Structure 1
Amino acid sequence: MCVQDVESVCEQVDDLGLSTDHNTPQFDSNQITVVSNSFPMESICEDTVVAEERYNSFTPIIRSGEWSDIGHRNYMEDTHICIPDLARTCNNKFLGEEAISFYGVFDGHGGKGASNFVRDNLPRIIVDDANFPLELEKVVTRSFMETDAAFARSCALESALSSGTTALTAMIFGRSLLVANAGDCRAVLSRRGLAFEMSKDHRPCYDKERLRIESLGGFVEDGYLNGQLAVTRAIGNWHIKGLKEMDDRAGPLSAEPELKLVTLTKEDEFLIIGCDGIWDVFRNQNAVDFVRRRLQDHNDVKRCCKEMVEEAMKRGAFDNLTVVIVCFQAEPPPPVVVQRGRVRRSISAEGLLNLKYHLEG
């Protein structure tokens, strides 16, 4: 369920031994920046972001909705979270003029222990970091890793929690949107009707992930990490030998998220966050088109989420299904006409000979 009760999110951390010190739409690719300190990702250019802020007076109006369904599975292992004001929810001493909104989808596997743990603990670990909210990129990365370590400690006490989960979160502060992903959930941004990925699916078939895995002593077998997992980044799975730690060094299954930061403008309409079951039956642009039509019909974000999950089931989705939609405008998306690229047509050599024959009589 979506967590909106302010006290329920952050009560389970104190006993885990955690430290608190711590009109054709045009898209400018410079506005989206990959942020990471792990191989083989790129680094952020802070000067570019600051320069863009000076010329952007857009103030997002945040609306969100969520929906989930067990689908055709026997067990529900997905969970999600929606927090309009992260600092206030977790009783953090920092209460700025602008709220920091926090949204997440967590797709569990091998049980729901890990997904529930991350939902209940990750937000508090983020706000308790000593650098929150000034260095959010570093804070979020560190918090994913610390949540993973905390879950490992809890697994030592309760073996039933030996499960895993992918995790995708989105934080909105001012005009900035920061997406953090570890796993195969996906976030897609609608910019005036065009779909832009804010995350990459961390699967063994992804070349950058395969290179990272092999550099850490892992391997891909039949499309699975070490022949066992369909994802290459996740929180948990400490019970699977050789994935998280190998000979006192990091193993190939990483909890470190890949980050993307974007400065929102008036062109940005909404963000779709979905578990992999959603993206099994929706392509990125198809999902954006679907959401835009529904918002234009009734402008009800939660109803739109419900309709998207129902549509996924009609299309044959088999997995648990969870979607969170965050809108940045109060009004529904306006109609747009997307100009399509010119289609180049060619004729075969045989066709040219036939044409020559007919022309020459």
Structure 2
Amino acid sequence: MLVTPAASSQGMARSVVTPSRKQEGLPPSGDMELKQNKFLSPDKQILTANPDINIVELCDDDEFIVLACDGIWDCMSSQQLVDFIREHINTEESLSAVCERVLDRCLAPSTAGEGCDNMTMILVQFKKPFAQVKDASGAEQLTGDAGCSETHGVEENGFDKQI
């Protein structure tokens, strides 16, 4: 299963769960016999390049979304990751610094055990939309933020990618 968390202001991780086409023990490249079974359509092959696409409507209380590879999810649950990000998102100077903290947290202290897989993570923080409110005189005012704030991805090799 593929689990994609989104944080809500109620403190819980909202997750989109979809079937994964990953089969344990298989490398994602090579193995052409697993990708070219002439009796199966491309999306039914054991290994496929066809993505699972889900459209999820954002809620007003969604704070951020994380896209990460299995190297992160093998080390932290959705809720653990949401809690960890919340703990650091307002104290770090950038989203890439938060991603670095997550990668440091997941990185194995030795070459044995969890945390030796490659790790890639993208963190997108949502700003709250503008709201129209009336001030004491009855005039309408706009409050809040609009759009999305910075979006960064940090890869294991140290490159910082701004999207």
- 1:248–1:300 distance in 2 versus 1, CA, 3 Å: same
Q: Of the candidates 308, 319, 325, which is equivalent to residue 102 of structure 2?
A: 308
Unmatched 5+ residue regions in structure 2?
A: 129-143, 145-163
Q: Of the candidates 99, 102, 121, which is equivalent to residue 323 of structure 1?
A: 121
1:268: how far off? Answer: 0.4
Distance in 1 separating the partners of 2:124 and 2:17:
16
Distance in 2 separating the partners of 1:253 and 1:314:
28
1:275: how far off? Answer: 1.1
Deviations 1:15-43 (A, max 9, x none): xxxxxxxxxxxxxxxxxxxxxxxxxxxxx
**Secondary structure, in 3 states, of the residue corresponding to 2:64?**
strand
Residue 37 of structure 2: aligned partner: 246
Residue 195 of structure 1: aligned partner: 13
Asked whether the equivalents of residues 21 and 47 of structure 2 are also in contact (C-alpha less than 8 Å), the reply is no
1:258: how far off? Answer: 1.7
1:293: how far off? Answer: 0.7
The higher radius of gyration belongs to 1
Distance in 2 separating the partners of 1:302 and 1:284:
19
Amino acid at match of 2:38: D
RMSD: 2.8
- Decide which structure has greater strand share: 2
Residue 26 of structure 2: aligned partner: 229
Residue 290 of structure 1: aligned partner: 84
Deviations 1:109-154 (A, max 9, x none): xxxxxxxxxxxxxxxxxxxxxxxxxxxxxxxxxxxxxxxxxxxxxx
Distance in 1 separating the partners of 2:84 and 2:93:
13
- 1:328–1:299 distance in 2 versus 1, CA, 3 Å: farther
Deviations 1:139-177 (A, max 9, x none): xxxxxxxxxxxxxxxxxxxxxxxxxxxxxxxxxxxxxxx
Asked whether the equivalents of residues 188 and 284 of structure 1 are also in contact (C-alpha less than 8 Å), the reply is yes
Residue 49 of structure 2: aligned partner: 255
1:269: how far off? Answer: 0.3
TM superposition score normalised by structure 1: 0.30
- Decide which structure has greater helix share: 1
Distance in 2 separating the partners of 1:268 and 1:295:
14
Asked whether the equivalents of residues 271 and 327 of structure 1 are also in contact (C-alpha less than 8 Å), the reply is yes
Amino acid at match of 1:291: I
**Secondary structure, in 3 states, of the residue corresponding to 2:116?**
coil
Distance in 2 separating the partners of 1:291 and 1:318:
21
Distance in 2 separating the partners of 1:279 and 1:266:
26
Residue 135 of structure 2: aligned partner: none
- Percent of pairs identical after alignment? 26
Distance in 2 separating the partners of 1:324 and 1:284:
14
Question: Number of residue pairs matched?
Answer: 121
- 1:248–1:271 distance in 2 versus 1, CA, 3 Å: same
Distance in 1 separating the partners of 2:17 and 2:123:
15
Distance in 2 separating the partners of 1:241 and 1:275:
23
Asked whether the equivalents of residues 199 and 258 of structure 1 are also in contact (C-alpha less than 8 Å), the reply is no
Q: Say which structure, 1 or 2, has more relative contact order (CA 8 Å, 6+ apart).
A: 1
Residue 267 of structure 1: aligned partner: 61
Amino acid at match of 2:5: V
Unmatched 5+ residue regions in structure 1?
A: 1-182, 205-222, 332-361
Distance in 2 separating the partners of 1:262 and 1:291:
21
TM superposition score normalised by structure 2: 0.62
Asked whether the equivalents of residues 272 and 324 of structure 1 are also in contact (C-alpha less than 8 Å), the reply is yes
